[in-house]
Amino acid sequence: MTPPIIPLPYIGRNLLFLEEALDELEARGITSPLLFRASEADKLARLLEHGTDRAGYPGERPWTDGPAQGRPIRHEDVIFATTADEIRRGEREPERSTSLKKFAVIARPLFVAYDARCFVKLCDRQYEYGDPARKPAALLALFPVTRVDPVQGWFSEEAGLAYRALVRSIHGGAMVEVGSWKGLSTAYVGRLAARRGVALHCVDAWEGSSDAYAARYSALLAAEDVPGAFEANMEALGLRPIVHRLASTDAAARFAEASLDLVFLDASHDAAAVLADLEAWWPRLKPGAILAGHDHNEEHAGVLEAVARFAARAGRAVEVGGGSVWWTRR
């Protein structure tokens, strides 16, 4: 059986790419223990024919690395690979090599997913085929990688993954992201929302802010077509959000009450603007729907103040996760 070939965009955010690959595998019912390997796009045909990019070369080479030295293992019967957890660990440990970190030295990467049950671990990141004659059976999927220019923004990978977790908790319906800028936060949830049948609305006036960053935003908007950059980034990522070029509270008025499953706020950070956003969007949420936002930390006292005041008034508890992402339920 030919493994699926699944093109994926890559913006230089390794954990986002990993989550997208895992989602694509899960959507196809591929949930077995996994190993991942970085390869090159020009080895796609070799992988499809042999199950590994190390096979099909003339001559035999013995394996001469690691604790297996001295045992006659064919070179093509061993791969370097990492698990999803090892990739996550590698992002926390700069010196640790992983399959995704190898993208930095590969011009046209190809990400390869294997069934880990088909291998015997030799040592850290080295695996031998349990049955070398059945290499193709171990190959689960191939991800040709399209490099996309990094999206400029102020959204950490930790925040992006926390945002994804909120979107993952809903299915169908509609969500709103307030404050998209060039689309970095949107990149973390766009494909996931589409996969889960969630209509994604992006709200941004692209006219600056009323907080301490106002001068900086005005300078950036004067120097560059930021909404045009957002549009170009969405096109490069294959995302098609519904865009509302409006102030947050004006956009909120266009949505019916109790019509939304999630609203994520990341617009102006001063207390008055955040409180106005909270009050405007709260009635638009369905009962049990999620109201969330970014920058719930001491650097953004206005966000802390507004969220605390609103939550106390609404009688709701606020939770805070990775990347200073906060949320509560209607």
The structural domains of the chain, with segments of one domain joined by +, span 8-147, 157-329
Res 68 pLDDT > 80: no
Judge whether residue 119 has pLDDT over 80: yes
CA–CA separation, 217 vs 244, rounded Å? 19
Class of domain 157-329: alpha beta
One DSSP character per residue, 20-51 reads HHHHHHHHTT--S-EEEEEEEGGGHHHHHHHS
Nearest to 12, CA basis, from 299, 237, 164, 251: 237
The mean per-residue pLDDT over the stretch 202-226 comes to 92
More confident residue, 212 or 260: 260
Q: Are 324 and 294 in contact (CB under 8 A)?
A: yes
Residue 314 binned pLDDT confidence (cut-offs 50, 70, 90):
very high
Q: What is the pLDDT of residues 161-174, one digit of tens each?
A: 999 999 999 999 99
What phi and psi, each to the nearest 5 degrees, are found at residue 316? Answer: -120, 145
**66: pLDDT confidence band, cut at 50, 70 and 90?**
low
Residue 158, CB half-sphere, CA atoms under 13 Å: how many? Answer: 11
Angle at 119 between CA 115 and CA 122, to 5 degrees: 140
**Total Cβ atoms within 10 A of residue 235:** 11
Rounded to an integer, what is the distance from CA 313 to the centroid of its chain? 34
Tell me, what's the pLDDT at 245?
98
User: Residue 31: its pLDDT value, please?
Assistant: 87
Question: Measured between alpha carbons, how far is residue 164 from residues 106, 126, 133, 137, 323 in Å?
Answer: 28, 31, 40, 32, 12
pLDDT of residue 211: 85
pLDDT at 195: 96
Contact 75, 53 (CB under 8 A): no
Instruction: State the pLDDT confidence band at 209, using cuts at 50, 70 and 90.
Output: confident
pLDDT for the residue numbered 64? 65
Average pLDDT, the chain: 94
238 φ/ψ sector (left φ>0, alpha ψ -120 to 50, else beta): left
User: Is the pLDDT reported for residue 69 higher than 90?
Assistant: no
- Interval 230-246: pLDDT, tens: 999 999 999 999 999 99
| 19-58 tens-digit pLDDT | 999 999 999 999 889 999 999 999 999 999 999 998 877 6
Q: How confident is the model over 264-274, as pLDDT tens digits?
A: 999 999 999 99
Is the pLDDT at 60 greater than 80? The verdict is no
Bin 217: left if φ > 0, else alpha if -120 < ψ < 50, else beta.
alpha
pLDDT tens digits, 273-297:
999 999 999 999 999 999 999 999 9
At residue 213, the pLDDT reads 85
Which neighbouring-strand residues pair with 262?
175, 290
